[in-house]
Amino acid sequence: MQIIDGKKVSAQVKEEVKNQTLELKEKHGVTPGLAVVIVGNDSASRVYVNNKKKACEAVGFKSEEYALPEQTTQEELLSLVKTLNEKPDINGILVQLPLPKHLDDKAVIEAINPEKDVDAFHAVNVGKIMLGEYDFLPCTPAGVMEMLHSYDIPVSGKNCVVIGRSNIVGKPMAMLLLHENGTVTICHSRTKNLAEVCSQADILVAAVGKPKFVTVDMVKEGAVVIDVGMDRDENGKLCGDVDFENVKDKCSFITPVPGGVGPMTIATLMKNTLKAAKLQNNISD
């Protein structure tokens, strides 16, 4: 069994982004800029946003944080998005989800200029991903693919099972595996014989949001297990969607939590923001 080290792979990606950013500054006088919008007081979101800002600093981007109070109205949030759409030194706009319940996240995402949508959540970008002709890839699924590539794990012809069908992870994850010729099954809360379906997977991606949901009986001997979960166990300790301790010895590769997929999400965000800056300034690679 080999642990897939997300910290290591993400450090390599960020190093590459940092070098390209330096070149972009020197050759073209362009510094990529990311605006991160957070509404309310969700503590997990606060940690994610801080990590995103830190990563921007590390690769040499400009970052702006817009921390809005819980009671922000839809109009106020849309007005901020509009301002950021028009700000030339901001190349990427990220509105941290989930938003407080009274806000309409779909409308907010659709208000972001697709060229600045570095999460790839806008309908235009989602459509482009379906067609296989995209500018940006969604951060978490693309981070997972980058990990597989980094460890030379082949996807073509493999049985890939994704547990979870969210717009942020499950659905685009399935699409990216399909693009690389995986045979993909998406499982969800209504799936019958879930354990049996999962136990056929050569590559199993867990994105359910339930602590230690994937148990050892659901995993095929020698499978690659990717854990997208960020959960808390019964003692409040950070854990993933996979029962890591009991599953790990059955796998060929497994991602830990923390230190697995999480850092890769941020590394892809950096890649997307760099690409956005290049596209908006008509600079090709």
What is the smallest separation between the CB atom of 45 and ligand GUN, expressed in angstroms? 7
Provide DSSP, 53-72.
HHHHHHHT-EEEEEEE-TT-
Question: Active-site residue 52, yes or no?
Answer: yes
Cβ proximity to ligand GUN: between 46 and 179 the closer is 46
Question: Which among 202, 246, 195 is positioned nearest to 226, based on CA atoms?
Answer: 202
Contact segment (CB under 6 A) with ligand GUN among 20-28, 78-86, 90-98, 175-183 equals 90-98
Contact segment (CB under 6 A) with ligand GUN among 13-21, 71-79, 92-100, 143-151 equals 92-100
Tokens read off for 73: 């109205």
Q: Examine residue 119 and tell whether it contacts ligand GUN (CB under 6 A).
A: yes
Question: Active-site residue 96, yes or no?
Answer: yes
* Binding string, residues 220-259; x marks residues near ligand GUN by CB under 6 A: ----------------------------------------
Q: Are the C-beta atoms of 66 and 49 separated by less than 8 Å?
A: no
Q: What pairing do the DSSP bridges indicate for beta strands 238-239 and 231-232?
A: antiparallel
Question: Which among 204, 246, 249 is positioned nearest to 228, based on CA atoms?
Answer: 204
Among 10, 21, 72, 96, binds ligand GUN (CB under 6 A): 96
Cβ proximity to ligand GUN: between 168 and 224 the closer is 168
Active-site pick, 14, 20, 96, 117: 96
> Rounded to an integer, what distance in angstroms lies between the CA atom of residue 100 and that of residue 183?
37
Q: Are the C-beta atoms of 66 and 37 separated by less than 8 Å?
A: yes
Q: What stretches of the chain adopt beta strand conformation (E)?
A: 2-3, 33-39, 62-68, 92-95, 159-163, 183-187, 203-206, 223-227, 231-232, 238-239, 251-254
Site for ligand GUN in 159-218 (CB under 6 A): 168
Cβ proximity to ligand GUN: between 30 and 205 the closer is 205
Interface contacts to ligand GUN, rule CB under 6 A: 94-97, 119, 139-140, 168, 265
